[in-house]
Amino acid sequence: MAAEVFVQTVDGTRYTQDIKAGKHVLTGDEPESVGGNDRGPTPDEWLLASLGSGMARPVRMYAARKEWDLQSISLRLRHDRIHADDCSDCETKQGMLDEIHVEIEFGGDLDSDQRQRLLVISQKCPVHRTLTSEVMIRTSGG
């Protein structure tokens, strides 16, 4: 099933957007420090939120199926831009790269093997796979 959202700028504002996702209406914006109204997350924050919520879902499903005592999942995500030559294990060797740091904590009575398995499962979410695969964005209109 394809996902679809509708984004429209709000009249009289510089960066504020109404975002319609299914029956949900969300708000995106930029901080006041760059001319926005700070009425909602920035696009980068929405991206991180999508990745974080996407990573938590398969973890919850897997733990439930295994009947593990997973009480909570906490994710802290940060997006940075780094110089390619500072990344020893990256294919790209020049220019700038996007780097997302994800720190996950699992609450509950879990042993170290279970925690390690849940870390692996978290990376199998569709959002994670999208961000780590070749992505084609086709823009039309005018």
pLDDT for position 110:
98
Residues β-bridged to residue 104: 75
How do the domains of the chain map onto residue ranges?
A: 1-40, 43-131
43-131 — its CATH code?
A: 3.30.300.20
pLDDT tier at 142 (50, 70, 90 boundaries)?
Answer: confident
Report the chain's mean pLDDT, rounded to a whole number.
Answer: 93
Which position has the token pair 């909602």? 40
pLDDT for position 85:
80
> pLDDT tens digits for 44-88?
999 999 999 999 999 999 999 999 999 999 999 999 988 888 777
